[in-house]
Chain A
Amino acid sequence: MRYVLGRLGQAAAVLLAAFTVAFILLQAMPGDAIMIKFENPELGLSPDQIAALRQAYGADTPLPAQYLHSLLGFLGGDFGYSIQSGTPVRQLLAEVVPGTLILAALGFVSAVILAVGITILANLPGLRRIADVFRSLPSLFVAVPVFWLGIVLIQVFSFQLRLIPVINPGPIEGLILPVLTLAVPISAPIAQILIRSVDDVLGYPFVAVVRARGADPWWILWRNVARNAVLPAFTMAGVLFGELIGGAVVTETVFGRAGVGRLTADAVTQQDTPILLAIVLLSATAFVVINLVVDLLYPVLDPRLGPRRRARVAAPRERKVVSV
């Protein structure tokens, strides 16, 4: 219990620190949102008009006051308004978060499927001769720029083969290519883990023993690889998921989808602080929660960890790295 409370306290500290760091970072940027919005010569506003607007926005209040104001607002659930567009930040987020979550979740699941597929292909006896090709796929997957991949997928599947429209597609159609675009680079590290786990398992002496007793080799693989690979894969889910939400920006831009990534990129460009602070809080919360969940799931997934973990809490100096 004390452990859980401690974790929660640390999580809260991480949240507050992330918020503060983001606030400082954003304030340190040259110019501000009002300047970007209204001092644009294209609007043709005179200096007096701009001065009046600055005053109306309270842009010249001291920073500590602004910090407290937004912190208290956030604690009370008030995210404020976008400076650039005037839309309530809450509404902006409500509009984009579900889409990004679906994209990220499906992207992750597809990445796992893709990775499993590559692993199986790389190990199929019949495909022995070209196993090397599959083994080099993960390296290739991480070497291709995502935006290029997205554009080429659109050119090929939508414009050339005309299988899937990219403009106003149905809810399911519209996810296929973006999910694929997102899944390819993410599948690479997962595939690498899986391929290595298979190799590891096959390297264990006990495999020969089990086989000698007449067990099905594929069953051995399945059982042991699953056990070995699920943990790191879960851990990676925690890290990647946060990255996915930000990393989806490229996919969202190429496919013209609304999403957290695009909202972030646009808001950074406009220095739209209220949006960015809300996004930081959101992603930090997601990060902390996912890590807590993974942490709690660990002993469930792998009973071997139970006692050792308790021992670790009691005697933290003797921590040992798991799973390698």
Chain B
Amino acid sequence: MSIDEREAAAEREISVGGTAPAERDERAARLPDPFTPQRRSLRERIGRPRIAVVLSVVWLILVVLWALFPSVFTPFDPIAGNAAEAQQAPSLAHPFGTDATGRDMFSRVVYGSINSLSGALIAVSVGFVIGTAIGVFAGSSRRLVDDILMRIVDVFLAIPSLLLSLSIIILLGFGTAQAAIAVGFTSVAAFARLSRSEVVRVRGTDYVEAAFASGGRFLPVLWRHVLPNSLNAVLALAALQFGTAVLSISTLGFLGYGAPPPTPEWGLMIAEGRNYVATAWWLTTLPGAVVVLVVLSANRVSAAIAARGRIS
């Protein structure tokens, strides 16, 4: 039993730890010399993280706009290339260069955002919905049901995630959505453990006990008191998983299990461009930089969500 709690705790540490900006920043400000009195003003302390978060959100919004209205951002067709212009370095006409068959890489990145973002979204949703359902149910059930559910989660963890995700792709067929589901499945266990431990924690708090004591029935109390207070950490993990999912899909592309062509997809672009790392660096580096920025931004936002939970 205790394993679940500790691991869930650790997972929460991963999701929340170090990324609770306001609170952490407050302490960070004190850190270098923790023993001198606080000198920074409150405004300074709260103001700084907001810039980072705002920039992150702006970047994410831009990427979402790419996904929704790609043709606004680039005149080129991501699929039709011009063979005469194959493998050109970045220039004004092609800010991200062109690939081996003369397709504009920037337009592939822009048009690819819909696939990558929806892939990440699907991955997170699968993990979040299934994992949280199992976790919340286990955390609020009797010991036996709890044990059984958490052992099922253990089975998920015991099978190597690589094997699990590759098998799922083989079963479902190749595609962005399929790869995303496979990635999502590997995070079910993390969500289940985290949400379960949160539910257990919240259940133990005084106000929930009070709610039960004052005659509240199980489900309403769960819905009104337990869930809302458990979800912050889980949401933070979800935001964090969003970035990880993009990378996991990319790794699947590296292993040859990516989206089928000619779909532009970030992870696949990075994976396929790696063969050109010495001859056409832009093919892997520029889409890679876009992904790094998205992941960093997602982490920022995740931290902001987590912080809100902590402060309130």
Contacts and interface: CB of A to CB of B under 8 A. Distances in A.
Interface of A: 10, 13-15, 17-18, 21-22, 25-26, 28-30, 122-125, 128, 131, 135-136, 138-140, 142-148, 151-152, 155, 189, 191-193, 195-200, 202-203, 207-208, 211, 217, 231-233, 235-236, 238-239, 242-243, 245-247, 249-250, 253, 261, 264-265, 268-269, 271, 276, 279-280, 283-284, 287-288, 291, 294-295, 298, 309, 312-313, 316-324
A155 B147 contact: no
22 contacts: A29-B170, A131-B31, A143-B291, A145-B267, A145-B270, A155-B277, A155-B278, A189-B17, A192-B17, A193-B17, A196-B13, A199-B23, A202-B27, A208-B35, A211-B35, A246-B163, A268-B162, A276-B163, A284-B155, A298-B6, A309-B2, A312-B2
Nearest to B33: A125
Contacts, number: 238
Contacts of A261: 162
B19 interface: yes
Nearest to A247: B162
B158 A288 contact: yes
B60 interface: no
Contact of B7 (A147, A152, A239): A239
A323 B6 CA distance: 8
B199 to A, nearest CB: 10
In which size bucket is the chain B interface?
A: 35 or more
Given A17-B151, A145-B251, A323 B9 contact: yes
Contact of B247 (A145, A239, A269, A287): A145
Given A145-B251, A236-B10, A261-B162, A140 B292 contact: yes
Given A142-B299, A144-B292, A268 B170 contact: yes
Contacts of B23: 199
Contact of A143 (B33, B162, B243): B243
Contacts of A294: 3, 6
B26 to A, nearest CB: 8
Given A131-B31, A140-B296, A235-B9, A264 B163 contact: yes
Main secondary structure of the interface of A (DSSP, over half): helix
Nearest to B254: A147
Interface in B260-285: 267, 270-271, 274, 277-278, 284
A239 B157 CA distance: 8
A242 B157 contact: yes
B255 A298 contact: no
Nearest to A192: B18
Given A22-B163, A148-B288, 14 more contacts: A10-B147, A124-B32, A143-B295, A143-B296, A143-B299, A145-B251, A145-B288, A192-B17, A199-B28, A200-B27, A202-B27, A202-B30, A253-B255, A283-B160
A195 B200 contact: no
Nearest to B21: A135
B154 interface: yes
Contacts of A324: 9, 12-13, 201
